């Protein structure tokens, strides 16, 4: 396996391929700042929950720089707390005595939605998978087994950890990984 791109995003920092990116905002506002700087023309971004915004921005920044989006054939992400932040936001719309379930929030109450957002944006019709694991390092053998699977023609995957447990508590470490 060969890693050609890597991005790490925390609420106070962004590091793309080892180089820190200057940001003026922090927390969820930082993701909006990155969107305005690197994307700007995809208003659906504002409908997304924080988990999806995080994965979307990470994918965007890596793929924009390397122009490999047409070669990425799978998106394999993982985290520890699934879609809990958005689950809690949806729960707030069905509290007893104030019951107005929001379909716009319910659609994001699955962790794998972020993989779908990335696939839609970059027209990736290969595999999308989401795993819930104890620790980030547990994803590596799964990605390896996926790349080496029989009947698999996967050569290049976008994979990594994409976690958001509360509004301003998030962490992503994503990579573009090649099979050779």
Partner 1 sequence: MVYCIGHSIISPLGEGSLANLEAVRTGRSGLRMYDHRFADVEPFCASLFDEPQAFVPLCIRSVEMAVNEQSMLSSKDTVFILSTTKGDNLDLWTPAQTIAEHFGNPNPPVVVSNACTSGVCAQITAKRLLEAGLYKYAVVVGCDIQTRFIVSGFQSFKALSPEPCQPFSPERKGLNLGEAAATIVYTSNPQPTGWRLVAGSIHNDANHLSAPSRTGEGAYRCLTDVMTGVKPTDIDLLGVHGTATLYNDAMEQTAIERAGLQQVPISALKPFFGHTMGAAGVVETILCMLQAEQSFVKMLSGFGGVNAAIRMLCE
User: Residues in the site for partner 1, rule: CB under 8 A?
Assistant: 75, 80-82, 84, 87, 90-91, 94, 96, 99, 101-103, 106-107, 109-113, 115-117, 119-120, 122-135, 138, 141-142, 144-146, 148-151
Nearest distance, CB of residue 177 and partner 1, angstroms: 15
* Residue placing its CB nearer to partner 1 in the complex, 14 or 78: 78
Question: Mind giving me the DSSP string for 111-161?
Answer: TTHHHHHHHHHHT--SEEEEEE-SSGGGHHHHHHHHHT-TT----EEEEEE
**Whose Cβ is closer to partner 1: residue 3's or residue 149's?**
149
Sequence-separated (6 or more) residues with CB below 8 Å from residue 12: 26, 30
Alpha-carbon distance 61 to 69, whole Å?
11
Rounded least distance, CB 104 to partner 1, Å: 9
17: nearest Cα among 52, 68, 66: 66
Cα–Cα nearest to 62, from 160, 135, 165, 138: 160
**Closer Cβ to partner 1, 10 or 109, answer by number:** 109
Beta carbon nearer to partner 1, 26 or 138:
138
């Amino acid at each position: 396996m060969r890693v050609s791109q890597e991005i790490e995003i925390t609420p106070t920092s962004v590091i793309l391929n080892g180089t820190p990116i200057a940001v003026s905002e922090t927390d969820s506002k930082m993701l909006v700042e990155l969107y305005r700087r690197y994307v700007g023309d995809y208003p659906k971004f504002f409908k997304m929950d924080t988990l999806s915004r995080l994965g979307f921005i990470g994918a965007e920044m890596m793929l924009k720089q390397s122009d490999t989006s047409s070669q990425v054939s799978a998106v394999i992400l993982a985290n520890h707390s699934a879609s809990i932040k958005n689950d809690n936001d949806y729960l707030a719309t069905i509290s007893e005595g104030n019951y107005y379930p929001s379909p716009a929030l319910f659609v994001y109450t699955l962790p794998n939605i972020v993989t779908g957002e990335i696939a839609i944006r970059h027209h990736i019709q290969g595999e999308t998978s989401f795993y819930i694991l104890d620790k980030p390092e547990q994803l590596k053998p799964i990605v390896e087994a996926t790349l080496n699977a029989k009947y698999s023609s996967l050569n290049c995957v976008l994979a990594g950890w994409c976690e958001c447990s509360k509004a301003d508590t998030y962490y992503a470490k994503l990579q573009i990984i090649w099979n050779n």
